Amino acid sequence: MNGFAGHITACGSFAATGDSRARHPESHVGCDVVVRGYIADRAALVERFGLERDAGDGELVAHAFRTWGAQLQAHVHGEWAAVVWDVRTRTGLLAHDALALEPLFYTVRDGGVAFATELVELLDDETAAVLDDEYLADFFAYGGVTSERTPYRAVKRLLPGRSLRWADGELREMRTWNLADVPALRCRDDAEYEERFRALLEAGVRSSLRTAGRAGVALSGGLDSSTIACVAARAGCDVSAYSTISPRWPDGDEQSWMRMVVERYGMPWHATDVESVLPFSRLPTEFLGEPTGSVVDEERRRIHGELLASHGVTAMLHGNGGDTVLCSSPGARPPHLADELFDGKPLGALRSVAAWKRESRVSRSYTYWLLRGLVEPSLEHLRGERVRTEHVAFPSWFQRDYGETMRLERRSRRRIAPACRRPGHQVVWDDLWSSALTMSTIPRRRMRYDFRAPLLYLPLVEFMWSIPWEQKLRPRCDRYLQRRALTDVLPEPIRRRATKAGASGPYAEGLRRSRDWMAFLTDTPLMAQRGIVDAARWRDAVRKASVGQTSSDKYFFAAVAVEAWLQQLGEHRLRIARSPAAALAPAV
């Protein structure tokens, strides 16, 4: 959907700029406002501010600014980005939702600040020429975006929980929300936990469904997308399900799980065979400004976009973020067991380890759980490192000198979210931070619909963060509260489902079929020219990936994203140089 771009000049004037997609400022209560995205809990805001029911998002944000000032991020929920210009004081606020699901980029330029919801809007010949090698190293180390850095040294990304204030010719970053500051919460009994969870879940889904057109749910067959679809249908909302099925790969085909949902609620269902939208079906045509794993799915985005447009769908709900927020299995390392140590309760921590060993389906010694659940997470947390529930070795196709010079292994251990007191909570905040920033890289420029994540509805996120671990996770049951609270909502086999099929087959097949992508990635890899990968070993890795052999998927797809971005960047810089604006620029 439409984004915005603009600038605040050194002399203190505010303007929206950009192409035909730019939003023009609205004026309310002495503020000029541009906003993109959607605002949740509109009825409550309208009532608080005494506005008409049909008040627009710009009006809501302006009144929120007058009420809460720079702290509005903590009070205005949804997925949005906004710039508010106070006409009287000639000061500006650049803000977005607390989790940064709606991205906002900025750069200090000519004594002022330029901003945009699309990174590519801020690129000129000079900006695009100076790349940030630290960003690329971080991207490889984590397999995605983790920090304020962008691929360009001059342009920054506004992070979760941060806002920017422009005043007196200076731009100042402020921390305006932090998940680690949310206090602990205890309810009276299990029933109250379940009741509050259901209420917040329904509020998040209902808010996400507000749209000018129709709404759809991306139904994958997993617990999270099924939860969203069932809650929406049970609440009487008019939604349709959209799925990608893979009958050629029975081990990864989720049709039977999808049907349980649509048949129970009589929900319209539109299924697309993955054969018609295989990854790597089409070379990238749109320059997205930064590396993103979505680059391999251009054909799927195109076909799905056309289908949704033909149905009048303007909002698509998805289950992203559910694994973290609702507490999926921690794997072989349950770091939350160490939290009681940091609460000064060592005996409680030992009892928790003993209970986990006794009830776990995995038969391991007490020493194993002591090390994995207490000692290792505690030491990593005390060292300020990321508490990792798993570790994937870096593939051999990275140049050894690059890995050592950029300290990839050390980077991969670095904590990425603000510090938490407890290691278990730190894992949640780090994972949520990474997931949210990754979601913010989903291409939006050509989308004619909003892509919304109701499981990341902020009050639900804060509630799940604040309640005791035993309400969320048990040795034999992950997503404990979710499963209990949705007894009458989900089909019973889905509610009890403990596994999820993989989807690697279509990726390998799509790459195998695409000679264009194979050549694009291997003929003259720009990563090799930059000393990042060994060209021969990278070509071999691509060939192996085309037959389903990828030993470290996140690193492989990060490299695919970077290679595609590097090649597109060169073409984009040529377009900039040939543009009329560049021709009129004075020679230096």
Q: Map residue 164 onto helix, strand or coil.
A: strand
Residue 238 has pLDDT above 60, yes or no: yes
| pLDDT, the chain, mean | 92
Tell me whether domains 5-177 and 181-325+450-495 share a fold: no
pLDDT at 551: 62
Distance CA 149, CA 484 (A): 41
Select the highest-mean-pLDDT range: 150-164, 203-217, 350-364: 150-164
At the fourth CATH level, which superfamily is domain 5-177? Aminohydrolase, N-terminal nucleophile (Ntn) domain (3.60.20.10)
Beta strand 214-218 with 239-245 is parallel
Residue 19 has pLDDT above 50, yes or no: no
pLDDT at 579: 66
Do residues 92 and 85 make contact, with C-beta atoms less than 8 angstroms apart? Answer: yes
**Both tokens assigned to 136:** 């690329």
pLDDT at 22: 44
First-last CA distance in the chain: 38
What mean pLDDT do residues 376-403 have? Answer: 90
Listed residue (45, 160, 165, 186) closest to 418, CA to CA? 160
Residue 17 has pLDDT above 80, yes or no: no
Q: Map residue 38 onto helix, strand or coil.
A: strand
The amino acid occupying position 395 is: P
Residue 578 has pLDDT above 90, yes or no: no
pLDDT at 565: 96
Task: Give the confidence band of 13 by pLDDT, cuts at 50, 70, 90.
Answer: confident
Residue 251 has pLDDT above 90, yes or no: no
pLDDT at 580: 59
Residue 44 has pLDDT above 50, yes or no: yes
Listed residue (155, 46, 156, 37) closest to 98, CA to CA? 37
Q: Give percent above pLDDT 90 in the chain.
A: 81
Do residues 262 and 241 make contact, with C-beta atoms less than 8 angstroms apart? Answer: yes
Residue 585 has pLDDT above 90, yes or no: no
Distance CA 370, CA 91 (A): 54
Right CATH for 181-325+450-495 from 3.20.10.10, 3.40.50.1370, 3.40.50.620, 3.20.20.70? 3.40.50.620
Instruction: Point out the least confidently predicted range of 101-115, 282-296, 437-451, 461-475.
Output: 437-451
What mean pLDDT do residues 417-435 have? Answer: 95
Torsions phi, psi for 37 (to 5 deg): 110, -155
493-to-254, 257, 476, 483, 487 alpha-carbon distances in Å: 13, 8, 16, 11, 11
What mean pLDDT do residues 421-434 have? Answer: 96
Half-sphere exposure of 375 (CA within 13 A, CB side): 7
Q: Give percent above pLDDT 70 in the chain.
A: 97
Q: Interior CA angle at 518 toward 515 and 524, to 5°?
A: 125
Residue 229 has pLDDT above 90, yes or no: yes
Tell me the sheet residues that pair with 83: 34, 94
Cβ neighbours for 404, distance < 8 A, ≥ 6 positions apart: none
Task: Give the confidence band of 570 by pLDDT, cuts at 50, 70, 90.
Answer: confident
How many Å separate Cα 500 from the centre of its chain?
Answer: 20
Residue 173 has pLDDT above 90, yes or no: yes
Q: Per-domain residue ranges for the chain? A: 5-177, 181-325+450-495, 335-433, 504-579
